[in-house]
Amino acid sequence: MSARRPGSARLALAAAACLALGSCDAGPPIPDTDLLLRVSTDATEVELGAPFPITVVRVWSKALVPTAWDDRALAPLVVRLEGTTRREDARRVEETRRYRGYAFSRTDVLVPAAKLVARPREGGADTTVRAEPL
C-alpha cells in the first residue's frame, strides 16, 4: 500500500487537464482587426418555421469596450442561442455566438446590417462597424 500526499489526486487531474487542453486545436488566428462584426449562415433558403444555423462573430481590440450584444439585431428572425464561445490573444477578443434561427414569413426576409459599437478604454470617440445584411 502506498501513501498519498494530500492534494496529489487534484494535482494529477490538473496536469492531465493541462495536457489535454494543450493538445486541443485552438482554431485559426483571431482576425487582425480592431473591430469586426460578422453575421452568417450556410442556409441559402429556409422553410417557414424550420430552424437553420446563424453564427455571429464579434472581434474587438482589448483597447476597446464593446456594447453588449442584443439578439434583437437579428430581427425579423426569431433566434434561440445554442452556445457562445470566447477566446483571446494578446491584443484581441473573439466572441462567437451560435443560434438556431426561424423565419415566420411567406416572403423573402432581410436581416438589416447589425452594428457593433465600441468605446476606447482610455476615453474618446466611439467606433462603429456593421455586418453585411443577411
pLDDT digits (tens, 9 = 90+) for 55-79: 999 999 999 999 999 999 999 999 9
DSSP three-state, residue 8: helix
Best CA proximity match to 46, nearest among 97, 99, 109, 98: 109
Q: What is the pLDDT of residue 90?
A: 95
Pairwise CA distance, residues 62 & 88, whole Å = 9
Range picked from 6-10, 85-89, 103-107 for highest mean pLDDT: 85-89
DSSP 8-state class, residue 43:
-
Q: How far is CA 3 from the centre of its chain?
A: 47
Tell me the pLDDT band of 27, cut-offs 50, 70 and 90: confident
